[in-house]
Structure 1
Amino acid sequence: MIHCSNPACRVANERDRDMCKSCHWPLVRRYLWAIGSTASALEVGTVLASRYEVIKPSLLLDLDPAESPLPVENPAAIALPFLHLAPFHRSIPRPFTQVVSPHSGEPLLLLEDAPLKPNFDTAQHSATPMPTLPEAWPHQSALHQLSWLWQIARLWQPLRDESVATSLLLWNLVRVDGEDVRLLSLQHSDASPSLADLGQRWRALLPKSAPEIRSYLTALTEQLMAQTLSAEGLLQSLTHALETLTATATRSVEFATFSDQGPTRQRNEDACYPPSGTVDHRIVQAQHAAQTPAPIIVVCDGIGGHQGGDVASNLAIEVVTRVLNPLAATPNLTHAVLVEGLQRAVLEANRVLSARNDQDQRRARDRMGTTLVVVVVYGARLYLAHLGDSRAYRIRPHSCRQLTLDDDVAARDSRLGYRFYRDALGQSGAGALVQALGMGDSQFLHPTVEMYPLIEDGLFLLCSDGLSDNDLVERLWQTELRSAVQGSGSVEALGKRLIRLANTHNGHDNVTVSLIRVTTPASSPPLPTLSADIGNWEAATGSSVGATAIAPTRSGTSVPGLGSTVPPQTVRPPRSRRNSTGGILRLLWLLLLVGILGGGGWLWRSRNSTPETVTSPPSGSLSPDAVPPGTGARPLGELAVGDVLQIQVLPEASNGAEAHLLLGATPPGAEAVMRRSLPVGTVVEVMTRQTTPDDEQWVQLRVCQVPALSPEPTPDTAPDASPPSADMTPRAQPGDEGWIRDRALRPIARQTLDTSPTQQGMCMDTAL
Structure 2
Amino acid sequence: MSHIHCINPQCNATNSVDESICQECNTPTTRRYLWVMDGEAQCFEIQTLIDDRFYVINDKVVLDTKPQKIPTFGDDIPSEIIPYQRLFTQKLHLPQVYSAIANTWLLEHQSTPINDSGELVYPHIFPTLHSSWAEASSLRQLNWLWQIGQLWFYLKKQKVLSSFLAEDNLRVDGGIVKIMELSPDNDNKPSLQDLGNLLEPFVKDSQEIIQEVLTNIVLSLQQKLITSTGELIKILDQALFILGEEYYQRKYHILTTTDPGKKRGNNEDACYPPALELKENVSGINTLTIICDGLGGQKGGEIASNLAIKTLEQELTQIYQKQLKDTLYSQNWTPLIDKEKILSALSEANDQITEINNAQGSKDRDRMGTTVVLTLALDHEIYFGHVGDSRIYLITSQGCHQLTVDDDLASREVRLGYSFYREMTSNPQAGALIQALGTDYAKNIRPHIKRIIPDEDCVLLLCSDGLSDFERVEQYWRQEVLPILGEKVSLSESIAHLLDIALTKNGHDNVTIGLVHCQILRMDAQKQRGLSWATLREVLPDLPQPDLSAVTLAKKDDFFERYKYWIAFFLVLVGIILGVFYQSKSSESPSNPSSVNSLYHG
Query: TM-score per shorter chain, which class?
Result: 0.7 to 0.9
CA distance, structure 2, for counterparts of residue 8 and residue 201 of structure 1: 50
Distance change in 2, residues 1:535/1:488 (3 Å)? closer
CA distance, structure 2, for counterparts of residue 242 and residue 523 of structure 1: 15
Say whether 1:267 aligns with 2:299: no
CA distance, structure 2, for counterparts of residue 161 and residue 576 of structure 1: 29
Alignment of 1:219-258 (within 5 A): 219-231=216-228, 232-248=230-246, 249-258=248-257
CA distance, structure 1, for counterparts of residue 218 and residue 486 of structure 2: 37
Q: What's the offset of the Cα at 1:247? A: 2.5
Match of 1:20 among 19, 22, 31: 22
Alignment of 1:533-682 (within 5 A): 533=534, 569-570=538-539, 574-575=543-544
Q: Does structure 2 conserve the Cα–Cα contact (< 8 Å) formed by 1:33 and 1:58?
A: yes
Distance change in 2, residues 1:125/1:117 (3 Å)? closer
CA distance, structure 1, for counterparts of residue 383 and residue 159 of structure 2: 30
Instruction: Give the 3-state SS of the residue equivalent to 1:514 in structure 2.
Output: strand
CA distance, structure 2, for counterparts of residue 16 and residue 534 of structure 1: 52
Q: What's the offset of the Cα at 1:112? A: 1.0
Paired residue type of 1:395 = I
CA distance, structure 1, for counterparts of residue 84 and residue 471 of structure 2: 22
Distance change in 2, residues 1:66/1:115 (3 Å)? closer
Q: Does structure 2 conserve the Cα–Cα contact (< 8 Å) formed by 1:270 and 1:300?
A: yes
Instruction: Give the 3-state SS of the residue equivalent to 1:247 in structure 2.
Output: helix
Say whether 1:282 aligns with 2:251: no
Q: What's the offset of the Cα at 1:267? A: 0.5
Q: What's the offset of the Cα at 1:326? A: 3.7
Alignment of 1:438-457 (within 5 A): 438-457=438-457
Distance change in 2, residues 1:117/1:223 (3 Å)? same
Instruction: Give the 3-state SS of the residue equivalent to 2:113 in structure 1.
Output: strand
Distance change in 2, residues 1:415/1:524 (3 Å)? farther
Alignment of 1:437-586 (within 5 A): 437-521=437-521, 523=523, 526=526, 529-533=530-534, 569-570=538-539, 574-575=543-544
User: What is the match of residue 40 of structure 1?
Assistant: 42
CA distance, structure 2, for counterparts of residue 464 and residue 524 of structure 1: 40
Q: What's the offset of the Cα at 1:283? A: 4.8
Say whether 1:427 aligns with 2:396: no
Distance change in 2, residues 1:158/1:236 (3 Å)? same
Q: Does structure 1 conserve the Cα–Cα contact (< 8 Å) formed by 2:272 and 2:309?
A: yes
Paired residue type of 2:403 = L
Q: What's the offset of the Cα at 1:124? A: 5.5
User: What is the match of residue 78 of structure 1?
Assistant: 80
Q: Does structure 2 conserve the Cα–Cα contact (< 8 Å) formed by 1:35 and 1:108?
A: yes
CA distance, structure 1, for counterparts of residue 74 and residue 474 of structure 2: 24
CA distance, structure 2, for counterparts of residue 495 and residue 45 of structure 1: 40
Q: What's the offset of the Cα at 1:420? A: 1.0
CA distance, structure 2, for counterparts of residue 59 and residue 162 of structure 1: 26
Q: Does structure 2 conserve the Cα–Cα contact (< 8 Å) formed by 1:457 and 1:486?
A: no
CA distance, structure 1, for counterparts of residue 119 and residue 349 of structure 2: 51
Q: Does structure 2 conserve the Cα–Cα contact (< 8 Å) formed by 1:116 and 1:127?
A: no
Q: Which has the larger radius of gyration?
A: 2
Q: What's the offset of the Cα at 1:72? A: 3.6
Q: What's the offset of the Cα at 1:424? A: 2.1
Q: What's the offset of the Cα at 1:256? A: 0.5
Q: Equivalent pairs: percent with the same residue?
A: 34
Say whether 1:148 aligns with 2:144: yes
CA distance, structure 1, for counterparts of residue 114 and residue 495 of structure 2: 26
CA distance, structure 2, for counterparts of residue 301 and residue 160 of structure 1: 36
Q: What's the offset of the Cα at 1:351? A: 0.9
Q: Does structure 1 conserve the Cα–Cα contact (< 8 Å) formed by 2:112 and 2:120?
A: no
Number of positions where the alignment pairs a residue of Structure 1 with one of Structure 2: 531
Paired residue type of 1:6 = N
Alignment of 1:379-394 (within 5 A): 379-394=379-394
CA distance, structure 2, for counterparts of residue 401 and residue 443 of structure 1: 30
Alignment of 1:22-171 (within 5 A): 22-36=24-38, 38-100=40-102, 107-113=103-109, 116-120=112-116, 122=117, 128=123, 129-171=125-167
Paired residue type of 1:225 = Q
CA distance, structure 1, for counterparts of residue 241 and residue 209 of structure 2: 14
**Larger displacement relative to structure 2 (16-25 or 198-207):** 16-25
User: What is the match of residue 218 of structure 1?
Assistant: 215
Q: Does structure 1 conserve the Cα–Cα contact (< 8 Å) formed by 2:410 and 2:430?
A: yes
Q: What's the offset of the Cα at 1:180? A: 1.4
CA distance, structure 1, for counterparts of residue 524 and residue 252 of structure 2: 13
Distance change in 2, residues 1:179/1:328 (3 Å)? farther
Q: Deviations over 1:7-28 (max 9, x none)?
A: 3211112233222111222211
Q: What's the offset of the Cα at 1:116? A: 3.8
Q: Deviations over 1:315-337 (max 9, x none)?
A: 00111111211455524353111
Say whether 1:300 aligns with 2:302: no
Q: What's the offset of the Cα at 1:127? A: 5.2
Q: Which one scores higher on RCO, CA 8 angstroms, separation ≥ 6?
A: 2
Q: Does structure 2 conserve the Cα–Cα contact (< 8 Å) formed by 1:250 and 1:283?
A: no
Instruction: Give the 3-state SS of the residue equivalent to 1:38 in structure 2.
Output: helix
CA distance, structure 1, for counterparts of residue 254 and residue 9 of structure 2: 32
CA distance, structure 2, for counterparts of residue 180 and residue 398 of structure 1: 10
CA distance, structure 1, for counterparts of residue 41 and residue 479 of structure 2: 33
User: What is the match of residue 349 of structure 1?
Assistant: 349
Paired residue type of 1:575 = P
Q: What's the offset of the Cα at 1:493? A: 1.5
CA distance, structure 1, for counterparts of residue 380 and residue 474 of structure 2: 27
CA distance, structure 2, for counterparts of residue 492 and residue 257 of structure 1: 9
CA distance, structure 1, for counterparts of residue 167 and residue 87 of structure 2: 20
Paired residue type of 2:55 = E
Paired residue type of 1:195 = L
Paired residue type of 1:41 = C
Structure whose residues are more often helix by fraction: 2
Q: Does structure 2 conserve the Cα–Cα contact (< 8 Å) formed by 1:244 and 1:571?
A: no
Q: What's the offset of the Cα at 1:370? A: 0.2
Paired residue type of 2:177 = V
CA distance, structure 2, for counterparts of residue 15 and residue 37 of structure 1: 24
Q: Does structure 2 conserve the Cα–Cα contact (< 8 Å) formed by 1:197 and 1:225?
A: yes
Distance change in 2, residues 1:486/1:83 (3 Å)? same
CA distance, structure 2, for counterparts of residue 64 and residue 188 of structure 1: 31
Paired residue type of 2:304 = A
CA distance, structure 2, for counterparts of residue 281 and residue 87 of structure 1: 33
Distance change in 2, residues 1:140/1:283 (3 Å)? farther
Instruction: Give the 3-state SS of the residue equivalent to 1:2 in structure 2.
Output: strand
Q: Deviations over 1:188-241 (max 9, x none)?
A: 222111111111121221111122221112122111111121222112221222
Q: Deviations over 1:376-399 (max 9, x none)?
A: 012331111011000011112332
CA distance, structure 2, for counterparts of residue 250 and residue 500 of structure 1: 34
Q: Does structure 2 conserve the Cα–Cα contact (< 8 Å) formed by 1:95 and 1:112?
A: yes
Match of 2:181 among 164, 182, 185: 185
CA distance, structure 2, for counterparts of residue 78 and residue 116 of structure 1: 24
Match of 2:6 among 4, 7, 10: 4
Q: Does structure 2 conserve the Cα–Cα contact (< 8 Å) formed by 1:533 and 1:572?
A: no
Q: Does structure 2 conserve the Cα–Cα contact (< 8 Å) formed by 1:373 and 1:385?
A: yes
CA distance, structure 2, for counterparts of residue 307 and residue 51 of structure 1: 48
Q: Deviations over 1:51-101 (max 9, x none)?
A: 11111222111112222212442223322111111111121111111111x
User: What is the match of residue 203 of structure 2?
Assistant: 206
Q: Does structure 2 conserve the Cα–Cα contact (< 8 Å) formed by 1:343 and 1:449?
A: yes
Q: What's the offset of the Cα at 1:450? A: 1.3
Q: TM-score of the superposition, structure 1-length normalised?
A: 0.66
CA distance, structure 2, for counterparts of residue 416 and residue 224 of structure 1: 34
Q: What's the offset of the Cα at 1:117? A: 2.1
Alignment of 1:663-742 (within 5 A): none
User: What is the match of residue 360 of structure 1?
Assistant: 360
Q: What's the offset of the Cα at 1:481? A: 2.0
CA distance, structure 1, for counterparts of residue 24 and residue 217 of structure 2: 58
Q: Deviations over 1:573-621 (max 9, x none)?
A: 83399xxxxxxxxxxxxxxxxxxxxxxxxxxxxxxxxxxxxxxxxxxxx
Say whether 1:313 aligns with 2:282: no
Q: TM-score of the superposition, structure 2-length normalised?
A: 0.84
CA distance, structure 2, for counterparts of residue 358 and residue 200 of structure 1: 57
CA distance, structure 2, for counterparts of residue 390 and residue 114 of structure 1: 18
Q: CA RMSD in A?
A: 2.2
Q: Does structure 2 conserve the Cα–Cα contact (< 8 Å) formed by 1:115 and 1:130?
A: no
